[in-house]
Structure 1
Amino acid sequence: MTRADPAPPATERRLRLLSCNILAGASVQRYREYLTRSINAVLPGRNKLDNLDRLAEVLSQFDVIGLQEADAGSLRSGFLNQTRYLAEAAGLPFWSHQPNRPMARLAHSANGLISRIEPHSVLDYPLPSRIPGRGALLVRFGEAREALTVLIAHLSLSAPARAKQLGFIAELLHDYPNAVLMGDLNTDAASPEMRHLFHRSSLQPPAQPTPTFPSWKPRRALDHILTSESVQLEKVWTLPQAFSDHLPLAAEIRLPAHLAPRAQRLRR
């Protein structure tokens, strides 16, 4: 019997990314529901858990997920850490979160990371703003400077605040050549503050806008997955399912194999 030659090691690896503003589990399908469901927004309920369970079924298809407006454990979520809940429900082994805006015990927004791949480090940074409460998670998948670096952020509503925050993000990512910025940036890629980000960093503007807001009739590309020039962005798309007022934004990236960490086996 002749032994077959082993297959050569892969020179490249693909990773699937997802960014999702989950509105603390609330489902909004038209503008008037911001008012008609305002009481439900600060109260827990079975509908929110059902919505998170539907989202968890989708998350299992991705390697690295960035969440915005996940509740860190307050009244509106039934004191549930939603990032942890989603990670466990999706069967993904690694998670971290960054609580940002506590409102007594009623609401506590957070950025969240869920990953199939074990991070080497996760650092959280407050973002500059006149009104505190915005932040970014810096996730490193390896020790070397060239390791994949993912930054998850949720930016302010005002353009001056976003300009400061994006300037801060450009400085954070300056030393990392293989970078991804993902999150709800609350502006489109053609805005002055985003153009300034592209000028000051290696992040590349998207080839075309991918509208994510409002989820029931997407017109504005507020959510982004941006990559540095050295990271090959294969495709970007929105998921058809609406879990909040933003559509989830997905991307597939391609990296040299020595830079792309291997996914962990599912722990049972």
Structure 2
Amino acid sequence: MPSQRLKLLSANIQAGSSTRRYSDYATRSWSHVLPAGRKRDMLDTIARLAGEHDIVGLQESDPGSWRSGFTNQTHYLAEQGGFDYWSHQPNRRVGSVASSANGLLSKLEPVEVSDHPLPGRISGRGVLTARFGEGDSGLTIAVAHLSLGAQSRRSQLSFIAELLHDHPNAVLMGDFNCPPDRPEMDILYRGTNLQPPACAVHTFPSWKPQRAIDHILVTSSLRCEGMRAMPAAFSDHLALSVELEVPEAALAR
């Protein structure tokens, strides 16, 4: 069957902030609410990495608040990375001081983009979906940032499973805040055709990766190879990159 190869990237960019050690969470906490620091330089570094890919999912991208200098970071990365198409899903806002969003950058034109709030004990999480190609067999890309608590993740994964259960060509990527073998992840594997990763790639913390909590999951109809982690500037997460082989029929318009 004819196929097309795409390069995908998932990155929690921590709103362009820099965290290089655990103590930075305390000593550099100001960077999460103030527009100071070298955030524009960080974004430029991330844009160069993103630009090497065809589709990029972002987490913790500031949609334009005080801490980002009122810059929509997803839009900025799209312009600097050479992406014609972009979308974002603002989720959590702390007044006008700080805000966070899922984002999607693409060099392919999506047929449809949708955003969905996720359930959870504390509101402010979501999943952003984009469909490429017409019909039920079109390629669906979903970007999510799940909660820290297992109970909230369970309800969120149930929601995502319902959302993707009838999509044969699907990708779910993002910051799951848990490894792929957690019990709640079985909800996803049972309810969709998404597969557990062949090997867990450690992405957190970025300066000494010990936990595999960022994932790019694909359905069995898609073939991925070359999964690797790489720095997203000085975010506390490493980004995940993968090459995906997609049936041409899934991209047909």
TM-score of the pair, normalised by structure 2: 0.97
Equivalent AA in structure 2 for residue 122 of structure 1: V
State the 1:197 CA deviation. 1.4
**Structure 1: runs of 5 or more not aligned:** 1-9, 263-268
Residue of structure 1 equivalent to 2:229: 238
- Distance between the aligned counterparts of 1:201 and 1:40, measured in 2? 39
User: After the TM superposition, which segments of 4 or more aligned residues of structure 1 sit over 2 Å from their partners?
Assistant: 240-243
Match of 2:90 among 74, 99, 102: 99
**Structure 2: runs of 5 or more not aligned:** none
- Distance between the aligned counterparts of 1:177 and 1:235, measured in 2? 22
Residue of structure 2 equivalent to 1:7: none
Equivalent AA in structure 1 for residue 166 of structure 2: D
Distance 1:46 1:39, change over 3 A: closer
Report matched runs for 1:60-71 at 5 Å: 60-71=51-62
State the 1:253 CA deviation. 0.8
Match of 1:17 among 8, 11, 17: 8
- Contact 1:215-1:242 within 8 A present in 2 as well: no
State the 1:236 CA deviation. 0.8
Residue of structure 1 equivalent to 2:113: 122
Equivalent AA in structure 2 for residue 252 of structure 1: E
- Distance between the aligned counterparts of 2:206 and 2:77, measured in 1? 20
Deviations, residues 45-74 of structure 1 (Å, cap 9, x unaligned) = 350110000111111110000000000100
Whether 1:110 and 2:105 are equivalent positions in the alignment is: no
- Distance between the aligned counterparts of 1:256 and 1:241, measured in 2? 29
State the 1:241 CA deviation. 5.3
Decide which moves more: 222-231 or 36-45. 36-45
Residue of structure 1 equivalent to 2:63: 72
Residue of structure 1 equivalent to 2:31: 40
- Contact 2:141-2:171 within 8 A present in 1 as well: yes
Match of 2:195 among 190, 196, 204: 204
- Contact 1:117-1:261 within 8 A present in 2 as well: no
Residue of structure 2 equivalent to 1:156: 147
Match of 2:172 among 160, 181, 185: 181
**Sequence identity (%):** 55
CA RMSD of aligned residues (A): 1.3
- Contact 1:18-1:251 within 8 A present in 2 as well: yes
- Contact 2:11-2:232 within 8 A present in 1 as well: no
Equivalent AA in structure 2 for residue 189 of structure 1: P
- Contact 1:242-1:248 within 8 A present in 2 as well: no
State the 1:233 CA deviation. 1.4
- Distance between the aligned counterparts of 2:237 and 2:174, measured in 1? 11
- Distance between the aligned counterparts of 1:243 and 1:62, measured in 2? 19
